[in-house]
Structure 1
């Protein structure tokens, strides 16, 4: 009899798992708490910016799930996990039995300690907008329209709290919409969790050049009707405040069920809970080797490994591959590994005037980490060398940091990785006849979207990439 696999969560990791289980001898049920079909959260800022429609973010439609024989439940909120009876209990009292339970709950936003953010009745100040879900995106989009209408000829203003990947994406989207936007980041430079001060400085300069002011080494401490007050005494007048700083793995269900939880749900190399061998965790909520991740590539890799485990195959997740990309108008960032702390010799080129910074950390002749800001023409080749642990010659690291010709993506070797999120090579993309076919067969462009132009060139298409629904 086919195993009953129940997935709690309807995000990008859950969809990837479902895709990998097509044709497997399982009865799959996916419990998504949002009312929408699973969508690409990374591209929410593109919806806010207006370059993508909300429908274009759909990863797989309900019809696709039904066609595979999978049961997708939208708006299904889970109350608790009953490990004794192996059942998931929904808030309406329904109990769903499982043989294998997969927790793909993602992460939840946390409110920064800003006085006045929450009113006495427990609601957020009307100017304040978290930015995590499609509902958040639509609410912010509506507020931008309303504020611009109210202010007539005067420009509307926004403060984005948080200078990480999401904060920069939202800031650029608002700026493109004509909103005067300011970014507040408590660390001494932008993207402090991924890159060093030199790269952060280049990003700040780029943002200012694009019309977005940046305040680093400053924290928002008070929210008033007049604006946001910083700990240095400055008051930033604003119509909108967007919260992009802070977030933690969603572990409440697991904790109440008695599973071992650190920062995330603790799993072994097969993505199995160390407490219960019938329970697994993937994505943002999973903790492997004392590490959690908030990026798509490792979540998708975990989903692929777990799918093999559920099929009864030998598979293990080592957690070594970490790739992060920033997709925002006028900003290009890629981070491999941890270039801030990785041990090795550093090869670095910074040109703040041109808005570029490139850093490789090389140990034993191998690239162990990298940060690229402003010029990603070599990111495919560098990612390939990083993944494979290729030993480089003494001159090669420096050559890799030189800019590449504009038509270089068409000359990439077949084995070069083009889509870092989905791990898709140039050869796999060339084997597809259209972008739509490439999306369906490989899922390239459905992560951060940063490879869209390269994919379009490799399949010989022109015009915008359209991600099919379902």
Structure 2
């Protein structure tokens, strides 16, 4: 009998895992349980939906027919109530019980309400002006409300907050951003970069309040901790989110901030795995799509191995060392991805490689407040280990290439890179001149060669998933496709 793999969650990590399992032809019977009523969609593009540049159906990752055609049992609107590890079953709120041989928790993260009085009324309901922004339904509800609103306050100056602020600003609303930290994007960039971003937002018509917190919502508006009241029609909560671990905790699995996993993405129960925002490896959780997709690829390989060899071995012993009985083969391990983050917001350009504020090394920094740009490189032993780019992403392709390859730079090269030239190499290479092994899509880990092997943008999306994450690689992908040799245009797949 085919092994039963049940995936709880239908987000971007879960979708990638299903794709990877199907690619390995494991023969497993796969069931995906999503508590939302929609087919899996791209959460990163919710701000594009709010802005009006994307329709809701354009966010779909894989349609219902795709799952059905491949024999995958996708159940939407299916909320899991409990995990019975002894019986190896999951119980749904409608009373349905499903058995599993392997269970994967891809439950993502959930928003948390900030300590602001007045957000919730005496009846336990959110004030009608208050909106979360985590799901497709959240985005659609906010979009409808924005159509008749004039003013909005976004609580939170992180990546999501700035995306929402710009989307509402593009729609013509007067927007104000409230950030409790001393500068915007404080989890990703330093104070100089945050100041550039604040200046850019103000130039675009968005007011920014940093170092202050919202404390109360009244009929007159949102009151800040220094007593000032922001009159508003909408309050969007983007600050505060945590891994969704209630299901894992109730099942008795090891949980800290997230569901604790090892290098094979196993929880404290070797038949239960976790990936994506809900998983914690070491002391880190992740809120980015690139590591979630990397986790999905590692887990697919682990599961393919386990399911193929389980009849002859005890899984707890077999997988512990990562060994594979096939000669010359070792199971992959997930030790934590290097972060590549992009801000997807109209007229705001931000890219972060690694952890530039905490990485050890020599720092090369260039700030131009007049032009609205800030660049910071951290170099250790001649290798680029982290970078921040704000306002000018013309060097992001080359820098990402150096970052991924661990290229050793000459002593003067970091400064030259920030100024816009590479010593002895002329102008920055375009996407068309990138070598085949240069990474183009950080979210999906796709290099230029795989893009060149495709005959169309649709084929790139379908076979590599490039452009389906944050979308930042789309210009480079289009350029690579436009400059491919004509002899390779037909019938080539990645």
The alignment's TM-score, normalised by the length of structure 2, stands at 0.90
Q: 1:145 Cα deviation (Å)? A: 1.3
Query: 1:151 corresponds to which residue?
Result: none
**Taking CA–CA contacts closer than 8 Å with sequence separation of 6 or more, which of the two structures ends up with the larger relative contact order?**
1
Question: What whole-Å deviation, never above 9, does each CA across 1:191-230 have from its counterpart, x for those lacking one?
Answer: 0001000111111111111111111101011101111111
Query: 1:430 corresponds to which residue?
Result: 452
Question: What whole-Å deviation, never above 9, does each CA across 1:414-467 have from its counterpart, x for those lacking one?
Answer: 222111111111221122121111111111110011111111121119xxxxxx
- The list of structure 1 runs, each at least 4 consecutive aligned residues, that deviate by more than 4 angstroms after superposition, is 404-407
What is the alpha-carbon distance in structure 1 between the residues aligned to residue 443 and residue 43 of structure 2?
Answer: 13
Query: 1:348 corresponds to which residue?
Result: 365
Summarize the alignment of residues 2-81 of structure 1 with structure 2, pairs less than 5 Å apart: 2-22=2-22, 23-81=25-83
What is the alpha-carbon distance in structure 1 between the residues aligned to residue 462 and residue 395 of structure 2?
Answer: 26
Query: 2:468 corresponds to which residue?
Result: 446
Contact 1:384 1:417 in 2 (8 A): yes
Question: What whole-Å deviation, never above 9, does each CA across 1:266-317 have from its counterpart, x for those lacking one?
Answer: 00000001x2000000000000011000001000000010000011161100
Query: 1:389 corresponds to which residue?
Result: 406
Summarize the alignment of residues 352-371 of structure 1 with structure 2, pairs less than 5 Å apart: 352-371=369-388
Equivalent residue in structure 1 for 2:159, among 162, 165, 169: 165
- Secondary structure (helix, strand or coil) at the match of 2:419 reads coil
Question: What whole-Å deviation, never above 9, does each CA across 1:378-405 have from its counterpart, x for those lacking one?
Answer: 2222222222322222122223223476
Contact 1:39 1:60 in 2 (8 A): yes
Summarize the alignment of residues 191-340 of structure 1 with structure 2, pairs less than 5 Å apart: 191-273=185-267, 275-312=268-305, 314-340=331-357
Q: 1:411 Cα deviation (Å)? A: 2.5
Query: 1:457 corresponds to which residue?
Result: 479
Q: 1:140 Cα deviation (Å)? A: 0.5
Farther off after superposition, 400-409 or 41-50: 400-409
- Secondary structure (helix, strand or coil) at the match of 1:189 reads coil
Farther off after superposition, 398-407 or 199-208: 398-407
Summarize the alignment of residues 94-133 of structure 1 with structure 2, pairs less than 5 Å apart: 94-133=96-135
1:91 has 2:84 as partner: no
- Secondary structure (helix, strand or coil) at the match of 1:401 reads helix
- Secondary structure (helix, strand or coil) at the match of 2:284 reads coil
Q: Over alpha carbons, which structure has the higher Rg?
A: 2
Question: What whole-Å deviation, never above 9, does each CA across 1:207-260 have from its counterpart, x for those lacking one?
Answer: 111111111101011101111111111111111000000000000000000000
What is the alpha-carbon distance in structure 2 between the residues aligned to residue 239 and residue 436 of structure 1?
Answer: 40
Contact 2:398 2:429 in 1 (8 A): no
What is the alpha-carbon distance in structure 2 between the residues aligned to residue 418 and residue 378 of structure 1?
Answer: 13
Query: 2:489 corresponds to which residue?
Result: none
1:408 has 2:430 as partner: yes
- Secondary structure (helix, strand or coil) at the match of 2:6 reads strand
Contact 2:352 2:388 in 1 (8 A): yes
Query: 1:372 corresponds to which residue?
Result: 389
What is the alpha-carbon distance in structure 2 between the residues aligned to residue 367 and residue 431 of structure 1?
Answer: 29
Contact 1:377 1:408 in 2 (8 A): no
- Secondary structure (helix, strand or coil) at the match of 1:192 reads coil
